[in-house]
Structure 1
Amino acid sequence: MPILSFLLGVLLTWLFMSGLMAQGLALFIRIWWPSSSRERELKVDQWLLNNPVQPSSGWRLLGYWKDTSLYRQACSEMAGLLADKACISSQDEILDVGFTSHDQLLVWLDYYQVQHLTAIASDEQQMARALEHCGHFNTLKLIRGGEKALAERPEDSCDKLVSLDCVYHLESRSHFFNHARKALKSGGTLAFTDMVLARPFQDRREQRLLNKLGRISGLLVEDMPIKETYENLLKQHQFEQVEIMDITDDVLSGFCFWFGQHYQNLSSFTRSKMWIRLRLQVWFIRWMLHREQLRYLMIIAR
């Protein structure tokens, strides 16, 4: 017993002197007591840039995996599905709120050749990459900002407003819908994806548990609406025609399966804090899917 205590003391001393204990404690605190910042989405220097598993890209979506097993293609398919459901054409003036990569902008500009694109993002690196890869399009206007930038858009300034895989990170869906309604022209279309709860909480204990686990993994469960109430929520903001498509299996299940196949290769290109947070997020999504409590929707509202 004295020998065991001595060895334990030596180990703790070495960990303390080497700084590993301090680093581990700091990492633990950052994960289990995450920042109160609303910007919980994964940052640009994350898990897919310069990834040798597939060609390098800037995509940062969950992807639409119905007909592909490749990440880059899955993201393109998600953007294309949203554009097709929204009937985006070369005659449209588009407002993209919260874009996450320059590749996303290229879909609107290069493939759909929209008349004009205004794109809003809050991250400085995203803006720099968008300018680098898309700056030659004279039909593009980049605006750095978040929900405030959307609130400041002129009335009746766009035909279609799109928001791809980011609404569940916004501070307030109600504010987003209100500002979107103002920015859209008469008869305009709001097209977006969102993560929602499949059912109400059973009790306060379940609510506290899911809220805590959601904060740890970076998903704001406490702010998620219930799937069955989403149409009424949009109609409260003067959207009269609402089409809701449940694409959970082709998005969440597909992404989790892909991540499970490649996470070891991806770990070499991810900072430790981000890597653990990403694995927690995938675990949380899988757990919520197993409980049949999480859904992923594509929504078209006019």
Structure 2
Amino acid sequence: MKAPRPAGWRRWRDRVLQQEDLNFLLTNRVPRIALTRLVGWFSQIRQPWLARTSIAVWRAFTDLDLSDAKPQRYASLHECFVRELRPGARPVDPDPALLTSPCDAIVGACGALDGLQALQAKGMAYPLKALLGSTPAAEPYRDGIYVTLRLTSTMYHRFHAPHQGTLEHVTYFSGDTWNVNPVALARVGRLFCRNERAALRYRLDAGPVVTLVPVAAVLVASIRLHALDVLLHLRWRGPHEMPCDARYAKGDEMGWFQHGSTIVVFAPRGFALAEGVAPARRVRMGEPLLRLPPAA
């Protein structure tokens, strides 16, 4: 069990990290792509003493908790980033009327879409066409519903099937690596549409099609999907469109981020937010996220 940090240190750390101008400067006004590649290289170094030191520094500035992790020792920082959890650590709600959260996260903007516009932050919207790549890809979600799920750096970074169904298609977009924290979301227009991301078209066995969009960020620019035999990252330029036919049971693992970022879930009209889902709410993988239409 890790020793608690002095309250004074936590207060000082939180005051520093909550300074919006400093936060934005340190995480965005830097050579983002070069820094992301450097951290990716560093995290892959397999040296246990270096991994232990790096994790200790990480813990000093965050509330990293590894108590529910399956491995307790790591040969590299990367192994800690993409750690698995102990069996049973994330029970999946079995109710077939519910779409469950694909990941551990803090809920950001969510609710009804305004036509084909989603809210990024207060007073700042983005078009689904820009995020998903085309009007035909966006049109099924007109006046539908969406939930933004933000993974912090300390969270479990794997994501899972929200319902029983089939991953039919992946559209990959290589892009920038802006930070996706609230400070950046309030300052950078169409941020999700600028960053590296993958749009996952997922057909539920119940009928409806939903789309999950994992969005990469600074230090996090690579996405692993079990359905594909390539690692999606900034140096990989295509193919842009990748048909799939991968079946998943509810809660099955679909892939992971190399660190932590955001997943935006889009569903057609008729879906509704599950009880208690609202901005700033913390959810865990497997907890209720959306309620399916009664007809489904």
TM-score by length of structure 2 reads 0.23
TM-score by length of structure 1 reads 0.23
Compare the two structures and name the one with the higher strand fraction.
2
